[in-house]
A and B are shown apart, each in its own frame.
Chain A
Amino acid sequence: MSVLDSLVRTARRRSPWLFHLNAGSCNGCDIELVACLTPRYDVEQLGIRLEGSPRHADIVVVSGPVTRTTRAAVETVYAQVPDPKVVVALGSCPASCNVFAGSPTVEGPLDRILPVDVYVPGCPPRPDAIIAGIAEAIALLADGGKA
């Protein structure tokens, strides 16, 4: 591996920027994700930044069971993220639709729509679990993403 390759790998590991996408979530997981930015957990010390624009992101964090109204937005936003990118399913909803399974307005789980790389189960997951999930996503990202 050349010096340039290892520099790029290190840079990807040290500077993962997240885009958070709410696909019909109840806001529980969203609050826990934002808690990761607070002084208690402070993910900025790992170089993680929550970005407003999907164009800036490396990791897409999706919460919610993907409702019928959000499906098009999920697909558009995923296409707007430049490669390499990794998808994290935040909470039980994108993994299994949770209590919304079988609802006619739900088109999830998320892996029917996007290639999911990391699952963080929980309803909602604790910030520690979210950080652990993002760390797994970072390792995938350093290898250039799975997809």
Chain B
Amino acid sequence: MTIGHALLQLLVFPGLLYAVPAAWLMLWIERKLRARLQGRIGPPFYQPFFDFVKLLSKRPLPRPRLQALAMSALPVLAVASTLGALALLPVFPGSGGFSGDLVLLVALLELPPLCAVLAGFVSRSIFGELGATREAVLSISYNLPFLAALVALAAAAGSLSLSAISEQALWQVRLPALLALALCLPIKLRVNPFSVANAEQEIYAGATTEFEGPRLALWELSHGLEWVALTGLWAILAFPVAGAAWPLRAVVFVVISLALVLGITAVAAATARLKVAQAARVYWQWGFALGVLALVVSMVWP
């Protein structure tokens, strides 16, 4: 991978130039579809963009210096790491990446939840701390099936490189692994039924309760980018057109991502919030079963 190639991935597709509008589009689709399913009209498509601009235009409140610094740095780190994760997705053939980029991707995807936990504690609000604690507990529960599925895929492809996995992993391993990953998406995106971490109207806004103006704008952006990155990762791993030319690959990538957003939103609109223990049980039972199934298949049926 040359420097030019890396910059193109980071700044154009599937990085900055694609990801930010896609993040706003996905946030809008989520709100709009939920409203339609509830018999409402819902917000117009430019809503997340204007929310972002308005939040940027608010004047930040005075805070102690260290707290202000930490509260600004954490959402910036969350946005930057999600953009980095997006840039690693091998949408174009031959963009290659490097051996081991799967490990880096997992680390970058795990940073935003970690930042949210730290943000909840650094804001020193009881609701922020509650949200942060719940987020930490849940991240332990959903990472078990998430990592098991990725390890199974890597074992099946015999490589830690994303493009190799996307092209070579066998479908008998891929199927249970993709199911396990799909199960992890709603909780990583903090939507119903796994929304205890930011439980709206129950603990206000969870970890971001104390964040205002530009800092909150960055959290909203990072949340949107997480939608793009996680659905994009799933789309890459489920790629049905491994050998196709790049325009077709890009279109299929976007279509699978948007279809996933619709599916996740439909489930979210149809379900109620689970408690922390119930949500953890779902992942330690069903998620664990799927993850182990994928692992076993990758070992006995290579």
Taking Cβ atoms with an 8 Å cutoff, the residues of A that contact B are: 7-8, 10-12, 14-15, 38-39, 42, 44-45, 47, 51-53, 55-56, 58, 80, 82-84
B4 within 8 A of A: no
State in angstroms the CA–CA spacing of A135 and B43 once bound together. 16
Per the 8 Å Cβ criterion, residues 207-254 of B in contact with A are 208-213, 216
The answer to the question of B266 belonging to the interface, with a C-beta cut-off of 8 Å to chain A, is: no
In the bound assembly, the distance between CA atoms of A84 and B213 in angstroms comes to: 10
State A82–B211 Cα separation when bound (angstroms): 10
B53 closest partner in A (C-beta): A11
Q: Which single residue of chain B is at the shortest CB-CB distance from A52?
A: B204
The CA of A42 and the CA of B54, in the complex, are separated in Å by 21
How many chain B residues sit at the interface, stated as a range, is 20 to 34
Query: Which residue of chain B has its CB nearest to the CB of A38?
Result: B40
B212 close to A14 (CB less than 8 A): no
- Complex CA gap A10/B216 in Å reads 19
| B31 proximity list for chain A (CB < 8 A) | 44
Q: A45-B44, A47-B50, A56-B211 are in contact. List 20 more A-B contacts (CB 8 A).
A: A11-B50, A11-B51, A14-B44, A15-B51, A42-B40, A42-B41, A44-B43, A45-B43, A47-B43, A47-B44, A51-B205, A52-B205, A53-B204, A53-B208, A55-B212, A55-B216, A56-B212, A58-B58, A82-B61, A83-B59
B248 CB, nearest partner CB in chain A, Å: 37
A28 to B114 alpha-carbon distance, docked (Å) = 42
In angstroms, Cα B55 to Cα A56, docked, is 8
Query: Bound complex: CA of A36 vs CA of B135, how far in Å?
Result: 31
Contact of B40 among A8, A15, A44, A47 (CB under 8 A): A44
A32 to B195 alpha-carbon distance, docked (Å): 27
Q: Are A47 and B51 in contact (CB under 8 A)?
A: yes
Tell whether, in the assembled complex, residue A58 and residue B40 are in contact, meaning their CB atoms are under 8 Å apart: no
Could you jot down 26 A-B contacts, CB within 8 Å?
A: A8-B53, A8-B54, A8-B57, A11-B51, A14-B47, A14-B54, A15-B54, A44-B31, A44-B43, A45-B40, A45-B44, A47-B43, A47-B50, A52-B200, A52-B205, A53-B205, A53-B209, A55-B61, A55-B211, A56-B212, A58-B54, A58-B58, A80-B61, A82-B213, A83-B58, A83-B59
- B50/A15 in contact, CB under 8 A: yes
Q: Say yes or no: B51 contacts A53, CB within 8 Å.
A: no
Residues of A within 8 Å of B200, CB to CB, are: 52
Interface string of B180-222 (1 = CB under 8 A from A): 0000000000000000000011011100111111001000000
Per-position binary interface string of chain B over residues 63-101, scored 1 when its CB falls under 8 Å from any chain A CB and 0 otherwise: 000000000000000000000000000000000000000
Q: B42 on the interface (CB 8 Å rule)? A: yes
Closest to B200 in A: A52
CA distance A42 to B57 in the complex (A): 26
- Residues of B whose CB lies within 8 Å of any CB of A are 31, 35, 38-44, 46-47, 50-51, 53-54, 57-61, 127, 200-201, 203-205, 208-213, 216
Which residues of A are found within 8 Å of B53, using beta-carbon distances? 7-8, 11, 15
Chain B residues with Cβ below 8 Å from A83 are: 58-59
The 6 nearest A-B residue pairs measured at CB? A52-B204, A11-B53, A55-B212, A11-B54, A39-B39, A14-B50
Minimum Cβ distance to chain A for residue B131 (Å) = 11
Contacts of B211 in A (CB 8 A): 55-56
Say whether A82 contacts B46, CB under 8 Å. no
Q: Are A39 and B38 in contact (CB under 8 A)?
A: yes
Query: Once the chains are docked, how many angstroms separate the CA of A142 from the CA of B208?
Result: 25
CA distance A47 to B43 in the complex (A): 6
Do B47 and A47 have beta carbons less than 8 Å apart? yes
Cα separation A52 to B201 with both chains bound (whole Å): 6
Closest to B31 in A: A44
> For residue B205, which residues in chain A have a CB less than 8 angstroms away from its CB?
51-53, 56
Report the bound CA distance from A45 to B57 in whole Å. Answer: 22
Q: Quick check: A56 and B41 within 8 Å, CB to CB?
A: no
Find chain B residues with CB under 8 A from A14 CB: 44, 46-47, 50, 54
- Whether the Cβ atoms of B50 and A82 lie closer than 8 Å is no
